[in-house]
Amino acid sequence: MRLVTDEDPYLWLEDIDGEAALRWVAERNAETAAALAADAGFPVLKERLREVLDASDRIPYAVRRGAFLYNFWQDAEQVRGVWRRTTPEQYRKDSPDWEVLLDIDALAAAEDEKWVWAGAQVRRPDHDRALVCLSRDGGDAVVVREFDLATGTFVDDGFRVGEAKTRIGWIDADTVFIGTDLGPGSLTDAGYPRTVRSWRRGTPLEESVLVFEAGKGDVAAWGMHDATPGFERDFVSRWLDFFRSETYLLTPDASLVRIDVPDDANAYAHRRHLIVTLKSDWLGQPAGSLLAFDFDAFLAGDRTAEVLFTPDERTALAGHSWTRHHLILETLRDVSTHIEVLTPTPGGGWTRRPLTDVPALSRVTVVDTDPDVSDEYFLDVSGFLQPSALHHGRIGADSEILKQSPARFDAAGLAVEQHFATSQDGTRVPYFVIGPGPAPGAGPGPALLYGYGGFEVPLVPSYDAVTGRAWLERGGTYVIANIRGGGEYGPDWHQAALGADRPRAFEDFAAVAGDLVARGITTPAMLGAAGGSNGGLLMGAMLTRYPHLFGAIVAQVPLLDMLRFHKLLAGASWTAEYGNPDNEADRPHLRELSPYHRLTADRVYPPVLLTTSTRDDRVHPGHARKAAARLRELGHAVLFHENTGGGHAGAGDNEQSAHNEALMHTFLWQHLAPEA
């Protein structure tokens, strides 16, 4: 039996478009289709999920840009979607009159290209032009084209950039900051722009003026123009790694003034304020705090901070958004959202009051504000069994529910509970259980445990109609584990599972699995686990470290080879999270972490489904391909599905999304549901 060593026998599967690799992919896809897509219930399930994704009465979430509200929309007729806008008055109607600006389906057909919408930057303050980003089949790399919002057409002689992981933003009507692939030396080792340039309309991109340059070993460089009237400023930054950066004020004479905050802090200017989010202790304030300084005084050396938020062991900062005169603050208390309004006072200090009541075990998210002009806000409120409601209001006045999403699945008899498991080192780990409420004589049933545990990303309550139809309606229980590595309790919760401490996240997830069994909710044979990207690494850990806890595992666009991840696509940008395989001090723990290298023939693994995308230019499809090949070689039960497009999302349209979700839930139900 071949062992996976540094001389990897499956390196040929890293050749993304190689003939042999794609032939292998086609063979595996056919096996998976025969096992799952041919299941009698698959077509009906897929159609019901597609119905959810395409529903015409979904809330059309919008952002304000000047006089209009902009929205991107996909459905059964507009598969790739349309970028459109309407007026605030029209938006209040059940069926607004939308002005279609760009039809991606028509553009894709005209240019014979699988374009996927990747966003647009509308120029402030005139809101007359946009920099539209389009991805080929869903990858992170994009092409950029200038778009005229008045005529609804691309500007023939406007700004245009070829395919790359470009960072671009307006400076004024005729100038942009740009970082892109300009040939050798212009990208970092992680594949992101290394330089920031000032590019003037009508001049060749190659003649753009170099403004700032990061190191080759940095993650990226970027430039940003703040167009706030009366506070116009330019900034450049270098990201040293995924969590550390240096930001500079670019003065009119092109000199750089360092914004002297800790390099792991997030800092930005807003009008007269410098706002700093701490990831470590500083100026006597703990990690996780939100601080405000007078911007000009700070540059002059004054470090007098106004403390806007201080965390405690149960509460963390979730986000904040500005209106014209106020700051909306979102916090998490045991992973449920609270929201309040902070207002700076003329004499110094801030007042605060609740913005709205939030139901228990729910989430409220600021969808959009209009910080240049008004105190308007849009809020989305939802819960696991509570469909989204879009609230609209202005600070100081009552809000209203502007749009309400209908229920998409039958929640009768379902309940939501929060429990806490005890991890191996004694840490209390919260998790949510959504499923059938307690019933006399009810025994354990199929359960699906989902987790992520990385990059300070929290998993918070939300209404998931796909999971509702695919899993909950069938009698399954759905569980979300808030394990370390995430952001549920702020920077400390994240940092507890960095680098060599990553196994703490794995122990947390295993503890939740064990607690579900101890509570009688499920059994190991009926418990499935799922996760994607970094959550795919978590799934690889469950497979190789805790296989006895699960009856089936699904890893989506997973990270699995921890000795080569830094050499594949964007992987070099994640060494701050995991460690660097080229560093002798890190290599031993990365080998221990690497699911690909832990696979053996002498352990019993639960059945596993690995999914990925050929066009994923963030997490290389080779991770899933190689693990599937290795599992097959060792004689274990594995299915593999690779979508040809879709990028890191794994799907570029609703048809692909419905297909992927139907594959996953069919696989899980086949293995976890008790026989009738």
Q: How far apart are the first and last CA of the chain?
A: 40
Phi, psi of 88, rounded to the nearest 5 degrees: -55, -35
Helices 19-32 and 622-633 sit at what angle, rounded to 10 degrees? 70
Q: Any bridge partners for residue 83, and if so which?
A: 72, 102
Query: What SS3 string covers 397-446?
Result: CCCEEEEECCCCCCCCCEEEEEEEEECCCCCEEEEEEEEECCCCCCCCCC
Express the helix, strand and coil content of the chain in percent, nearest 5 each: 25, 35, 40
- 382 a catalytic residue: no
321 as an active site residue: the answer is: no
CA atoms within 13 A on the CB side of 61: 14
**Structural element, H or E, at residue 388:** strand 386-394
- Residue 602 C-beta-side C-alpha neighbours within 13 Å: 2
Query: Residue 302's closest CA among 348, 266, 338?
Result: 348
Set 245, 382, 533, 573: catalytic member: 533
Longest dimension (CA), the chain: 77
3-state SS record for 654-668: HHHHHHHHHHHHHHH
Answer whether 243's CB lies under 8 Å from 219's CB: no
Calpha distance 591→367 (Å, rounded): 41
- 618, 622, 625, 631: CA torsion to nearest 10: -110
Distance of alpha carbon 88 from alpha carbon 441, whole angstroms: 53
How many C-beta atoms lie closer than 10 Å to residue 314's C-beta?
A: 12
What letter would DSSP give residue 247?
E
Q: Report the alpha-carbon distance of residue 417 to residue 515 in Å, rounded.
A: 14
CA 9 to chain centre: 33
- Name the active-site residue from 494, 623, 636, 648: 648
- Measured at the CA of 591, the angle between CA 587 and CA 592, to 5 degrees, comes to 120
User: CA 103, CA 494: separation in Å to the nearest integer?
Assistant: 41
- Amino acid in the structure at residue 519: R
Instruction: For strands 447-450 and 527-532, give the pairing.
Output: parallel
Structure tokens at 674: 């008790």
Nearest to 527 by CA among 628, 364, 672: 672
- What whole-number distance in Å separates Cα of residue 552 and Cα of residue 639? 11
Active site members: 533, 648
